[in-house]
Amino acid sequence: MTLPDFALARPDTLEEALALLGDDQVPYCGGTELLLAMKVGLQRPETLVDVKRVPELRGVRSSHGELVIGGASTHDDLSRDALVREVLPLLAEVEAHVGNARVRVQGSIGGNLCFAEPKSDVATTLIALDASVTLQSSSGRRTLLVRDFIVGPYYADKEPGELLIDVRIPLVATRRGAYVKFQVTERPTVGVAVVQDTETGACRVVVGAVGEIPVWRDWASVADIDVEELSSAVDPVEDLTGSERYKRHLTAVFVRRALRDLERSS
Amino acid sequence: MLAEAHLQRITARINGVEVTRTVAARLTLVELLREDLGLTGTKVSCELQVCGVCTVLVDGSPVSSCTYLAIDADGRDVQTVEGLADGEQLHPLQTAFVESMALQCGFCTPGFLMMSKALLDRVPDPSPEQIAKHLDGNICRCTGYEPIIRAVGCAARRLRGEADHE
Ligand SMILES: Cc1cc2nc3c(=O)[nH]c(=O)nc-3n(C[C@H](O)[C@H](O)[C@H](O)COP(=O)(O)OP(=O)(O)OC[C@H]3O[C@@H](n4cnc5c(N)ncnc54)[C@H](O)[C@@H]3O)c2cc1C
């Protein structure tokens, strides 16, 4: 499989990168999704605009009660980052189990969200953590919650001229969480994230990978969680990894396991 | 004829040797290695980043060279299976793979060796579980994996200077 011909731009600044983007001039980061889509002929952009050198998309910092993660950070970077491990060990753990070791080295958090692949661990976890994304184009900046950004399968709310600059996660000292997944191929069949504020008891459960987009619910306490309601609310996609009925069953099993892990977490 | 923006001049260190080439944007690292440089130890199979036979190390980290643009290796250090042995002296991982019968047809072996090297460079004393997890993106249809996990553990012990046991 040879890649079709294309031009590659490697801008060093955000302004340059934004000026280069267009309908047929698309962002390129790790290429773990984009290059595969191009190999099989699903996409044929004229120019790839490499975002890896843009400083605004790099690094992790905490600022004004939020963890700010540059969009080009790789899964491997995040799984080992000292700050992420300290303030959000749940995210570090999820990142350490994405795909395989090579996908983690090449693939970025921004590319993962922008591609909106349904079988993602990252979007599921970020929705549970109430994360948002910062998008920027030559004409301005906007922020939206990850749960609103992921609109459909392979469809994120992003204009061709926009770059995902960073992912922002509110830091809540009283938060605990768990993530469990079931996987027989290189991508998850089901992934469940549960996050609770231990002060108020309120919790959010997010089920990803079974359907086209993650499904989430908020409850006032763990005791209120209705596992049956959740497993009937998901809309499973039937494929080689299972039938609709099977995936509903798995959903219920994995929500229960996530709740068990939550109780064990500190 | 390719337009200017489709061609770029890159310099990378490949197994310690500085290589400068003008490459097309669409050229993958494995195409550069195999077709231009004749380094055919690195194999190609699934081309979907799933099987692991094309694994090489870029600045010490494992990547799928079938889906990694050669241009992204610009200014970086690339290690392939050809760079493992020191002259006639096999790398401890290679010796351990042979002794543990961790290969049969051998097609996946370069990928497993490079992937294992990436692990041992970071984690000198991995548990069998850590080894299995790290290698779960590499596929072998001959060995059943157990001998590979044993070989990596054995190489790790030797690299740490410990005597063999078992
Ligand atoms: C074998 C395999 C297994 C995988 N397993 C998992 C898994 O278990 N769990 C999981 O969650 N994911 C999994 N993935 C998906 C992986 O996480 C994503 O492929 C990766 O993170 C995408 O990032 P990238 O940098 O490679 O994106 P690219 O391929 O470079 O880009 C993807 C898309 O996003 C756009 N884009 C990239 N960066 C930006 C940006 N900053 N701003 C705007 N647009 C941008 C591109 O234009 C393109 O449309 C797997 C992938 C593979 C190949």
Nearest to B55 among A5, A9, A102 (CB): A102
The DSSP letter of residue A5 is: P
For ligand 1, the distance from its centroid to the CA atom of residue A119, given in whole angstroms, is 11
d(CA A103, CA B63): 7
**CATH architecture of the domain covering A175-264:** 2-Layer Sandwich (3.30)
pLDDT the model gives residue A152: 96
pLDDT tens digit sequence for A203-241:
999 999 999 999 999 999 999 999 999 999 999 999 999
Given strand B7-14, what is the order of strands in its sheet? B17-24, B7-14, B77-79, B55-58, B61-64
Q: Do residues A84 and A76 make contact, with C-beta atoms less than 8 angstroms apart?
A: no
For residue B128, which of B166, B163, B91, B87 has the smallest C-alpha distance?
Answer: B166
Tokens standing for residue A152? 């459909």
pLDDT of residue A210: 97
Provide φ and ψ at A256, rounded to 5°. Answer: -65, -40
- Determine the Cα–Cα distance for residues B35 and B85; give it in Å rounded to an integer: 22
Tracing tokens 């996946």 back to the chain, one arrives at B108
What are B's interface residues with A at a Cβ cutoff of 8 A? 2-3, 5-6, 8, 24-26, 28, 47-50, 52, 55, 61-64, 67-69, 71-72, 115, 118, 134, 136-138
The percentage of residues in chain A with a pLDDT greater than 90, rounded to a whole number, is: 97
Catalogue all structural domains in chain B, each as residue range(s) with its CATH number: 4-83 (3.10.20.30), 92-159 (1.10.150.120)
B1 has a pLDDT exceeding 90: no
A55-170 — its CATH code? 3.30.465.10
How many whole angstroms separate alpha carbon A262 and alpha carbon B73? 42
**B53, B90, B108, B114, B120 from B82: Cα distances, Å:** 14, 10, 14, 10, 18
Cα separations in angstroms, B102 against A42, B44, B149, B155: 38, 20, 8, 12
B38, with CB counted inside 10 A (0-12, 13-18, 19+), is exposed
pLDDT at A70: 98
Closest residue by CA, ligand 1 atom 39? A111
Q: Residue A192, SS3?
A: strand
Answer for the pair A222, A196: CB distance below 8 angstroms, yes or no.
Answer: yes
What are A171-207's pLDDT values in tens digits? 999 999 999 999 988 899 999 999 999 999 999 999 9
Question: What is the overall mean pLDDT for chain B?
Answer: 95
The residue contributing the CA closest to ligand 1 atom 3 is: A99
Residue pointed to by tokens 């830091």: A171
What are the tens digits of pLDDT across the range A23-37? Answer: 999 999 999 999 999
How much is the pLDDT for B6?
A: 86
Residue B82 has pLDDT above 80, yes or no: yes
pTM of the predicted model, to two decimals? 0.96
Q: What is the pLDDT of residue B164?
A: 73
What letter would DSSP give residue A69? E
Q: What is the helix (H) or strand (E) element at residue B156, kind and residue range? A: helix B146-159
Give the residue on A whose Cα is nearest the Cα of B69.
A31
Disruptive mutation site among B23, B45, B49, B139 for chain A (greatest number of A CBs within 10 Å): B49
End-to-end CA, chain B: 61
Quickly state the pLDDT bin for B165 (edges 50, 70, 90): low
